[in-house]
């Protein structure tokens, strides 16, 4: 029987989280182990994992940015959370959302996304919106984000090697 649970990342989850990243993304868009570990340690509130009977099958990581200071370079793959993260910011930037391929189509991406947003809205009152960047070719991901209230704002040409990146945004209030 499937028994999914969501919680904040803990030190016991780190090795499995690295494996999930490796199994889910190509080398061109995969975040480095060091960057993932840094994000988990700097902003634990913004890093949730989903487990299936104690097996980590996905995660979502984020940081909080000041919308007045966001530049295209902030979205770069493997950027350091220390460069832009501020708990006084107003924009929740979703830096990564991952579900193992064999566990997709079970609503886990939606659970992670909605769970994170609700948690951040409760803990960080200044945060009024969320942003993310997604490859124009990742149709299932785009559909998930649109179903949860995100809208395409603009694109960054060839952000994902050969594909454009779509910046999507959701207003909370």
Higher pLDDT, 82 or 26: 82
For the chain, domain boundaries: 4-171
Is the pLDDT at 91 greater than 90? The verdict is yes
Q: Which residues, at least 6 apart from 150, have a Cβ–Cβ distance to it below 8 Å? A: 130, 132, 168, 169, 170
CA–CA dist 106, 90 (Å, integer): 31
User: What is the pLDDT at residue 70?
Assistant: 92
Q: What is the CATH number of domain 4-171?
A: 3.40.630.30
Phi-psi region of 56 (alpha: psi -120 to 50; beta: other; left: phi over 0): beta
What is the average pLDDT value for the chain, to the nearest integer? 91
Is the pLDDT at 106 greater than 90? The verdict is no
Of 107, 121, 111, whose CA–CA distance to 45 is shortest? Answer: 121
Average pLDDT of the segment spanning 94-98: 93
Higher pLDDT, 162 or 113: 113
Average pLDDT of the segment spanning 119-138: 95
Question: What are the angstrom distances between the C-alpha of 17 and each of 12, 37, 39, 100, 158?
Answer: 10, 9, 12, 10, 27
User: What is the pLDDT at residue 30?
Assistant: 77
Q: Per residue in 39-80, pLDDT tens?
A: 999 999 999 999 988 899 999 999 999 999 999 989 998 899
User: What is the pLDDT at residue 2?
Assistant: 63
Of 133, 149, 161, whose CA–CA distance to 74 is shortest? Answer: 133
Helix (H) or strand (E) holding 142: helix 139-147
Average pLDDT of the segment spanning 110-139: 95
Helix axis angle, 139-147 to 108-123, nearest 10°: 50
Higher pLDDT, 22 or 147: 147
- C-beta separation of 16 from 56 below 8 A: yes
Q: Per residue in 10-43, pLDDT tens?
A: 888 888 888 888 777 877 777 888 898 899 999 9
């Amino acid at each position: 029987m499937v028994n999914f649970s969501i919680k904040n990342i803990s030190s016991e989850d780190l090795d499995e989280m690295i494996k999930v990243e490796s199994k889910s993304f190509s080398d061109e868009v995969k975040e480095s182990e060091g960057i993932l570990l840094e994000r988990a340690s700097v902003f634990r509130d913004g890093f949730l994992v989903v487990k299936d009977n104690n097996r980590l099958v996905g995660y979502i990581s984020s940081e909080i940015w000041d919308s007045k200071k966001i530049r295209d370079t902030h979205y770069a793959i493997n950027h350091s959370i220390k460069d832009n993260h501020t708990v006084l910011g107003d924009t929740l930037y979703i830096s990564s959302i991952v579900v193992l391929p064999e566990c997709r189509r079970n609503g886990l991406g939606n659970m992670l996304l909605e769970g994170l947003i609700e948690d951040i809205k409760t803990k960080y009152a200044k945060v009024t919106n969320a942003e993310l960047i997604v490859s124009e070719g990742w149709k299932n991901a785009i559909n998930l984000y649109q179903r949860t209230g995100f809208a395409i704002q603009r694109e960054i040409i060839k952000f994902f090697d050969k594909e454009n990146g779509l910046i999507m945004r959701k207003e909370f209030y």
